[in-house]
Amino acid sequence: MATTSNKAGKSAKKAAVPARKASSPKFVYYFGAGKAEGRADDKNLLGGKGANLAEMCRIGLPVPAGFTISTECCVEYFTLGGKYPKSLEAEVKAALLKTEATMGRQFGDPENPLLVSCRSGARKSMPGMMETVLNVGLCSATIPGLIKKTKNARFVYDAYRRLIMMYSDVVMEKAEGIEPAEGKGIRKQLDDMLHQVKVKKGYKSDTDLSEGDLKELAVKFKARVKELLGKEFPDDPMQQLWGGVGAVFKSWNGKRAISYRRIEGIPDEWGTAVNVQAMVFGNMGDSSATGVAFSRNPATGDHHFYGEWLVNAQGEDVVAGIRTPSPLNEATKNEQNKQFVSLEKGMPVVYKELDGYQKKLEKHYKDMQDIEFTIQEGRLWMLQCRVGKRTGVAALNMAMDMLKEKLIDAKTAVMRVAPAQLDELLHPILDPAAEKAGKVIAKGLPAGPGGAVGQIVFTAADAVEWAKTGKKVLLVREETNPEDVEGMRAAKGILTARGGMTSHAALVARGWGKCCIVGCGSLHIDVHAKTMTAGGSIYKEGDTLSLNGSKGHVYEGGLNTVDATENPRFQEYMKLVDKFRTMGVRTNADTPEDARVARAFGAEGIGLFRTEHMFYGKGADEPLAKLRKMILSKSLEERKAALGELFPYVKRDVKATMEAMDGLPVTFRLLDPPLHEFVPQSPDKQAELASELGISVEDIRKRGEALHEMNPMMGHRGVRLGVTYPEVSEMQFRAILEAAAELIKAGKKAIPEIMVPVTCCVKELDDQKKIFDKVSAEVAAAFGKKVPCLYGTMIEIPRASLTADQMAQTAEFFSFGTNDLTQMTFGFSRDDIGGFMGDYIDKKILAADPFQTIDQRGVGEMIKVGIERGRKTRPNLKIGICGEHGGEPESVKFCFKVKMNYVSCSPYRVPIARLGAALAAIAAI
Ligand code: PEP
Ligand code: MG
């Protein structure tokens, strides 16, 4: 054994990772036989897989020995332009020696050869996005020895043909940057050759192939590799090993991995570790098997040991969805797999051992574990454990169950549901009534939750293209393929004919909370013709289907969807969330209906009532006609008369909303948009309005022209309207204060707040405040009591932020309008970013769209300055946000950090904002 490794092994007892000598950085970490140089905390260095293999070794689980080449080595490899650091070779050799000693076999030994796997493992799990090579070390020198040792020539040739398939694909093609046309890759070609043998000989399954078939195939495979890739298949174990390590490193920069990182926000700089581990075989006959399991059901959260296994198979067979796997135990059998033998029945002793390990692991990690295992001739080996991905429903259910079981505390339970998962919980499901009446055309496995309705497409590229044009699509594929990741993302739902619950597509879809059905065996898909047959009918590209991903049912046509909100578990969880939350959450709502929905979601008030919304949509005709009359008035008298007609409508809506909020504060904003938005543009609409108002079309056209602005976003809008037409503000002040006074008089509660939009200097606020004070006094006189009402302002222009000390002299509260503040700080038109934002993100000029998540560096500074200066003048100044960012978790965290009193967002985002606020508070504890 190499001395360096020994030393490292000893020091590992004290520290998580052995100290590094400045001169030669340590890149390789051994694990095996109950000892490991790393541990679970070393994910950044060893990747998730490597760190957990080390941890499993430490806690005494049977893990095949091996070593992890660190992520730092991967970074170094890229820094050196695709070369290994000098010290790596010696370190690998030393670790290999230890592995050999533990396993009692030697790499490349003709008598008793050790085979290894090379697997990727990043800090954060990226299921199926990088490469793996198995059976490394099989060659003409070691094949006979292994046959002698195992007395199983069929198995050895099967392992060899797998090595050729994987290695030629991963190392000789992909890692070399060769990009064959669709369906022309080496893997596909070798697959086709194998398929042809099966067809010719009338075999049903890969396991029917005989020793002779496999031996012959290996020869033919190697010839095809040479022919296609122009190189001999390497026959030297060490050459194979280094090829495998390099290919795994390179797969960090493979297309799929890059796409996945972009979607998941994983930094490019992290790199992957490589785990080189002694092979154990699940394909050594009927006492061997392989499987994937979860300590609880990842789709529903049910507390059942749950998983799939395949007898006489290697792990790739389960995840690639080549064979439909069997259930792990009796309790979790479903419609699709009830006829198969469970591991519990088929291998009861091993099942019991495995069940013990999954319990131990869950207790150790205090979270649901996703486990990979292999049984070699009756002996169980643990190959991987990690925190399992789960749907939003499962995350919620597990968090609440584990809290009850006292496995985790309340704080941890809150943190177990990500804001995006909460969003997923609020997503639609197929309307159960529509499902009852609907026609089920196929059934598969319920791999990803909720309902999805869309037009079917048959390739990932089509899914992306169609989605770009705004179409809702369902991606239909024969089998699950991680290369489809972009198409899966773009699709509303995913449907596959093959694969199990643990196939890559299922894992990925579940992680995203995307509706997904896999293993729908009755589907016949013809990718070339772009058709699928199900339930006796043929469906073409573009036909609409509906999926219930929670049941695994596929329906013909587009079914109605409904929201899945009335879950008592959800209410319970949100109560827990609020225990930790300190910042308020309000909603942006302008109708009593929205107000009610938002209250049901836990809104503590309305942070933005956009007055102008009463002039759009349902029931808007009458008030809009009055507003238009006001806009088209030629004199002050005419305008006042029109405002008088408009008044009752405004008062009615304002009152109904305050009533619905029942004593929670409601922030009304004065009319904000430029008036020309309300004047019809088309000649026939103008003619209609002219006859309605009894004026000429010419008058309307002229007024429209007069109101026309080159840059309306910075034109006559917001407070500027109130400055030029004080009577417009006066009408609104009166409507709000009288509505509140009437409610209070009737014994109800009403807490109005009024804010002035698009302000940039305190004098604007002073100007409007005079009107407000006058109206307030008049209403007080009329009702015998003053209505308490705060007077505040939006802060959405940089100058307002910079002069916040002055603004706060008059404003009693601030509400940051980060939509406009982002627009004006960046100088990006909020309505026109579509033309360039994609390029800004792709070229990494901006990390994210600043209209979605607050740009903390720029707009965030503007907010900080505004808060600091505002509170200098008025220490108790109430401050909130009402731009779209108020419902975006990262932005909510920022709002907490800068000490806002509340965030305000659209009703359906209220729970997400509540969770975001709680998580921020927990992080600050
Ligand atoms: C804002 O600008 O952030 C805001 C809330 O106002 P609006 O979106 O109505 O302009
Ligand atoms: Mg605005």
367-418 tens-digit pLDDT = 999 999 999 999 999 999 999 988 888 899 999 999 999 999 999 999 999 9
Statement: residue 44 has pLDDT above 90: yes
**132-136/116-122 β-pairing:** antiparallel
Minimal-distance CA residue to ligand 1 atom 3: 817
In which band, very low, low, confident or very high, does the pLDDT at 14 lie, cut at 50, 70 and 90?
very low
Active-site annotation holds for 504: yes
pLDDT at residue 15, as a whole number: 35
CA gap 906, 882 in Å, rounded: 9
Above pLDDT 90, what percent of the chain? 70
Number of helical (H) and strand (E) elements in the chain, helices listed first: 36, 34
pLDDT at residue 4, as a whole number: 35
pLDDT at residue 463, as a whole number: 95
Statement: residue 882 has pLDDT above 70: yes
CA angle at 292 for the pair 374 and 338, rounded to the nearest 5°: 110
CA gap 222, 190 in Å, rounded: 10
DSSP secondary structure letter of residue 832:
S
For residues 94-119, give the mean pLDDT: 96
pLDDT at residue 23, as a whole number: 59
CA gap 643, 812 in Å, rounded: 28
pLDDT at residue 642, as a whole number: 94
Distance 717 CA to ligand 2 centre (A): 10
Catalytic residue among 427, 504, 676, 885: 504
Closest alpha carbon to 719 in 751, 763, 666: 763
Which amino acid, 164? I
Cα–Cα distance list, 631 to 641, 672, 680, 771, 925 (Å):
12, 14, 12, 20, 53
CA gap 717, 671 in Å, rounded: 8
Write down the pTM of the prediction: 0.79
User: Is there an atom of ligand 1 within 6 Å of 590 CB?
Assistant: no
User: Is there an atom of ligand 1 within 6 Å of 287 CB?
Assistant: no
For residues 312-325, give the mean pLDDT: 73
Statement: residue 240 has pLDDT above 80: yes
For residues 644-650, give the mean pLDDT: 96
Strand locations in 459-590 (E): 473-477, 493-496, 515-518, 524-526, 531-534, 537-540, 544-548, 553-556, 561-563, 584-588
pLDDT at residue 328, as a whole number: 95
Q: Do 426 and 561 touch, CB atoms closer than 8 A?
A: no
CA angle at 235 for the pair 232 and 240, rounded to the nearest 5°: 95
Statement: residue 189 has pLDDT above 80: yes
CA gap 210, 207 in Å, rounded: 8
For residues 662-685, give the mean pLDDT: 89
User: Is there an atom of ligand 1 within 6 Å of 758 CB?
Assistant: no
| Better pLDDT: 766 or 180 | 766
Distance 383 CA to ligand 1 centre (A): 53
pLDDT at residue 283, as a whole number: 84
pLDDT at residue 535, as a whole number: 85
Distance 81 CA to ligand 1 centre (A): 49
Minimal-distance CA residue to ligand 1 atom 8: 819
For residues 305-331, give the mean pLDDT: 83
Q: Do 804 and 861 touch, CB atoms closer than 8 A?
A: no
**475 bridge partner residues:** 457, 494
Q: Do 137 and 241 touch, CB atoms closer than 8 A?
A: yes
pLDDT in tens, 498-521: 877 666 677 677 767 689 998 888
Minimal-distance CA residue to ligand 1 atom 6: 817
Secondary structure (3-state) at 873: helix
227-231, 304-308, 701-705: least confident range: 701-705
Ligand nearest to the CA of 608: 1
Statement: residue 17 has pLDDT above 50: no
Angle at which helices 71-79 and 43-58 cross, to 10°: 150
In which band, very low, low, confident or very high, does the pLDDT at 837 lie, cut at 50, 70 and 90?
confident
Helix or strand holding residue 198 (H, E): helix 186-201
For residues 838-860, give the mean pLDDT: 91
pLDDT in tens, 128-173: 889 999 999 999 999 999 999 888 999 999 999 999 999 999 999 9
29-33, 41-45, 472-476, 495-499: least confident range: 495-499
Q: Which of 816, 882, 891 to probe ligand 1 with, by most ligand atoms within 8 A of CB? A: 882
pLDDT at residue 567, as a whole number: 66
Q: Do 254 and 131 touch, CB atoms closer than 8 A?
A: yes
| Better pLDDT: 235 or 449 | 235
User: Is there an atom of ligand 1 within 6 Å of 610 CB?
Assistant: yes
Distance 757 CA to ligand 2 centre (A): 7
CA dihedral 479, 480, 482, 486 (to 10 degrees): 90
Alpha helix (H) ranges present in 405-561? 410-415, 419-425, 432-437, 460-468, 485-490, 504-512
Statement: residue 7 has pLDDT above 60: no
